[in-house]
Amino acid sequence: MAHRPASIITRTGDKGQTGLSNGGRVAKNDPRIRAIGEVDELNSALGLLLAEPGLPDDVRAMLTHIQHQLFNLGGELSFPDPPKTRRLIQAAHVKTLEDHAARFDAALPPLKGFILPGGCRAAALVHLARAICRRAERSLVALAEIAPLSEHARQYINRLSDLLFILARFLNRAAGKEDVRWIPETSNPD
């Protein structure tokens, strides 16, 4: 385990910089820190979802595991050029998300149009997490344009957003709610 400071208050970031796992320091608005922060925000959104009562046990266990993987992803991102031994997100993690998505999707009717975020509260929280996941993905793509980034890390966050979309539909169905379908006619100002 990495060294932890005796106090969370270190004052080392007071001038707008923060530390990386290799001991280097970068600006708090650095693309790497932005990506780490958005992965952390996604993890927090999943934590909020996990506080929701009545989640199915298998969903709760899956989301808790994903939270741990997101923490690992943040750790991986905190190394500017991680050696292969520090690449914590692997192809097997991506495959696990694909397997979860396939399992939940198999319980759903085919999608026949676009849907809006909403339905039951748990599904709405999943949609919020999905939107945050897409933002985190954009940050990872931006970071990959200027720095080495594991292909598996990008794949993981992309598959996670797909899984979250499917999970929102699954939770609506489990709660007896319909997906909120987008009706194109309502977007016209007439």
What pLDDT is recorded for position 184? 86
Taken in order 14, 15, 16, 19, is the CA torsion positive or negative? negative
What pLDDT, on the 0 to 100 scale, is given for residue 82? 63
Q: Which CATH class is domain 26-177?
A: mainly alpha
**Alpha-carbon distance values, 47 to 42, 50, 63, 75, 95 (Å):** 9, 5, 9, 18, 23
pLDDT in tens, 6-56: 677 677 666 677 666 676 776 677 899 999 999 999 999 999 999 999 999
CA distances from 137 to 32, 37, 48 (A): 12, 12, 20
Which ranges of the chain have pLDDT less than 70? Answer: 1-6, 9, 12-15, 18-21, 23, 26-27, 82-86, 186-190
* b (16+ CB within 10 A) / e for 5-29: eeeeeeeeeeeeebebeeeeeeeee
Contact 140, 84 (CB under 8 A): no
Domain ranges of the chain: 26-177
Half-sphere exposure of 121 (CA within 13 A, CB side): 8
